[in-house]
Structure 1
Amino acid sequence: MKVHTGESVLSRAVRIFEAFTTDDVALTVSDIARRTGLHLATASRLVAELIEHGFLARDDDRRVRIGMRLWELAVRASPTLSLRDAAMPFMEGVHDVTGHHVQLGVLEGDEVLFLERLSAPGAVINYTRIAGRLPLHVSSSGLVLLAHGAGELRERVLAGPLAGSTRHTPGTPERLRAELADIRRQGYAFCPGYVHEDALGIAAPVRDERGLVVAALAVIVPNDAEARAMVPVVRTAALGVSQTLAASTRGLPVEKPYTFASQAPPRPS
């Protein structure tokens, strides 16, 4: 790890927070020092101060994790809070129909960041998680966001490496460009086996009151012949979230005229 010199205390604190990942939620101070490039004594002092303010917490085994105070402030000030609130009733409706994963993703840099996910025991394999990220060209949510994103973003992703999770992931600029055009034309992404051979993602755009795509609502279901029946369910839910966002922005009463159970075959018992 490269040692940074001449940086502020705030920059060092940010690097400490970034040392934690979804796979490594608890670290020793030595781990933090190694990952950040900070001297052990410096890391220890900063960690102690962050614990004092509640931004970090120490477990009984002396390992350090992100503190509840940081989570509290992040949730309180989150610009995505209204989006999540608008989406949750529709996500719950889709989840009742599918019995598998339903998730909400937004664009963050050149990746899709997942704000929320509903799941169930026995659901199909899914590598995404709340606050997790995936490259835009890999997942159904990412492809929807990329298809409706800025031209500069699309060209940057198309020019970069297109590493695939499976043989089905769009791996060439030509195929990816064609797929993005299909998504814009048909209004949804249908991605069999893109992240895992056994899973299929379907995503549709969520728009704000200006009609701009601000998120993608997706389901991850088994990769089989029945998956196509979920397309109208996902599209209806995404439209419902969009209309809820628009109504709340304009201060109008929110109506929920959509039902999901009538748009898909009953879940197998």
Structure 2
Amino acid sequence: MARKPTGESVLARAVRIFEAFTPEEPVLQVSEIARRTGLHLATASRLVAELAAHGLLARDDDRRVRIGVRLWELALRASPTATLRDTAMPFMEDVHAVVGHHVQLGVLDGDEVIFLERLSAPKGVINYTRIAGRLPLHASSSGLVLLAHGPADLRDRILAAPMQAYTANTITTSARLRRALADIRKQGFAWCPGHIHEEALGVAVPVRDARGTVVAALSVIVPNTAESRAVTGILMTAARGVTRSLPPSPLIH
């Protein structure tokens, strides 16, 4: 594959273009793509045109650029999480019907939790997560569940790194995080009142595969009230249902 004098391949530059898009800004001008990627405008324009010709990017009527449907199709076809999402969906729908607020399914990806699915309600409490959105592990109930049951080297890395504060309730010290992770492993759930937003309570439980390995976190975002803690039992029941329904082959590595 052709390379620049710096040694960067065309594929690497294409990946940088895809990474320029964010959940908050899914549509960009070519000039903004060039600025975010550090590519020359002519180079960015040429690569965008080639990617659009293959359906991996798409142009709006005003020539702004977005991720193409073809890329979404290929990602779904290859995703190892598709079976997990499809298996969990009926149980998520049951929880959503009872709780009436946001229900989410998240998995570990690097040092973050990425959300595969989210069911929401028109008048649900404020929630910053979205499908294919990410949050740091220390701040979210799903992230804490995955971190508590994740590999030791991941925990060591997160404990040693700076932790962003979203509210005064967010965990930001290694001592507090260690205690929280120990509690989660002991009690079987994460309970995070006001960690992302003061008005919201995140509650998450682990989803295990047939071997007992935690492969996902099932969570709800509900009003930050004492009564909302009652959703924990509902979540645990749903997570056990997902585990029983998962195929025996490993889904997440």
- Identify whether the pair has TM-score above 0.5, normalized to the shorter chain: yes
SS in 1 for 2:123: coil
SS in 1 for 2:244: helix
Query: d(CA) in 1 for partners of 2:72 and 2:81?
Result: 14
Query: d(CA) in 1 for partners of 2:131 and 2:104?
Result: 9
Contact 1:27 1:64 in 2 (8 A): yes
Q: State how many pairs are aligned.
A: 246
- Residue equivalent to 1:175: 176
Letter in 2 for 1:249: P
- Residue equivalent to 1:53: 54
Query: d(CA) in 2 for partners of 1:214 and 1:232?
Result: 19
Tell me the CA shift for residue 74 of structure 1. 0.4
SS in 2 for 1:103: strand
Letter in 1 for 2:143: G
| Pairing 1:135-146 to 2, within 5 Å after superposition | 135-146=136-147
Tell me the CA shift for residue 164 of structure 1. 1.6
Distance 1:228 1:74, change over 3 A: same
SS in 2 for 1:149: coil
Query: d(CA) in 2 for partners of 1:67 and 1:5?
Result: 29
Q: Deviations over 1:109-148 (max 9, x none)?
A: 1110011000010100001011111110100000000000
| Pairing 1:34-113 to 2, within 5 Å after superposition | 34-113=35-114
1:129 partnered with 2:91:
no
Tell me the CA shift for residue 210 of structure 1. 1.2
Q: Deviations over 1:150-199 (max 9, x none)?
A: 11111111111122211111121111101100000000011111110000
| Pairing 1:206-221 to 2, within 5 Å after superposition | 206-221=207-222
Contact 1:55 1:66 in 2 (8 A): yes
Letter in 2 for 1:18: E
Structure 1: state its 5+ residue gaps.
Answer: 251-269
TM-score by length of 1: 0.89
Distance 1:101 1:109, change over 3 A: same
Query: d(CA) in 1 for partners of 2:30 and 2:154?
Result: 38
TM-score by length of 2: 0.95
Letter in 2 for 1:118: L
Contact 1:4 1:37 in 2 (8 A): no
Structure 2: state its 5+ residue gaps.
Answer: none
- Residue equivalent to 1:19: 20
- Residue equivalent to 2:248: 249
Query: d(CA) in 2 for partners of 1:220 and 1:32?
Result: 34
CA RMSD of aligned residues (A): 1.2
Query: d(CA) in 1 for partners of 2:48 and 2:68?
Result: 11
- Residue equivalent to 2:227: 226
Query: d(CA) in 1 for partners of 2:66 and 2:229?
Result: 42
Letter in 2 for 1:125: I
SS in 2 for 1:97: helix
Query: d(CA) in 1 for partners of 2:65 and 2:229?
Result: 45
Tell me the CA shift for residue 4 of structure 1. 8.8
Query: d(CA) in 2 for partners of 1:6 and 1:171?
Result: 39
- Residue equivalent to 2:34: 33
Distance 1:14 1:137, change over 3 A: same
Query: d(CA) in 2 for partners of 1:12 and 1:162?
Result: 30
